[in-house]
Amino acid sequence: MRERILGYKELLKVLLEYHIHFIKRLSREGYEQIFSVLLIPLPDADEERIRELVEPLLRESDRLFYIDGNLIAMLPGTDWNGAQKVHETILTALGEPHVEDCVVEYPTDGDDAFTLIGNLYARREEIMSA
């Protein structure tokens, strides 16, 4: 049976925390790392369709979640500009109309998982209320 991309908020938080600790450890050895998280509201999406169309576009290191009607992708080593390109590629693959980007970047938009997730959802609310 294929693994589902259905995720849980707690799993996303734990994965972000782990990645942040890993980045901090690498930074002590001279490596500077960033990553981005993007969110695309898809309230009526079919998870299997998302998998078939989106997974081939992403790298092995990227992670997908579908939480509360939102497609969320964690993109290690990807800055904000790169995440915007991924956002547009996903929308094109899904045949979705243009949706304003909802992206946060570590450490620019938060230096811990709680802040990053909070800023991601705050950005989503800005977009939805516009």
Q: How many domains does the chain have?
A: 1
Of 2, 19, 8, 13, the closest CA to residue 75 belongs to: 19
Gyration radius from the chain CA atoms? 14
The CATH number covering residue 111 comes to: 3.30.70.270
Is 8 part of a structural domain of the chain?
A: no
- pLDDT of residue 58 exceeding 90, the answer is yes
- pLDDT of residue 31 exceeding 90, the answer is no
Q: pLDDT higher for 8 or 81?
A: 81
Is 98 part of a structural domain of the chain?
A: yes
Three-state DSSP at 108 gives coil
The share of the chain scoring above pLDDT 70, in percent, equals 94
Is 90 part of a structural domain of the chain?
A: yes
Where in the sequence is the domain holding 64, given as residue range(s)?
A: 14-129
Is 4 part of a structural domain of the chain?
A: no
Mean pLDDT across the stretch 34-58?
A: 90
Three-state DSSP at 105 gives strand
User: Dihedrals φ, ψ of 6, to 5°?
Assistant: -55, 125
Give the model's pLDDT for residue 28: 80
Is 6 part of a structural domain of the chain?
A: no
Strand order in the sheet with 103-106: 63-67, 70-76, 35-41, 103-106
pTM of the model: 0.87
Is 1 part of a structural domain of the chain?
A: no
Is 76 part of a structural domain of the chain?
A: yes
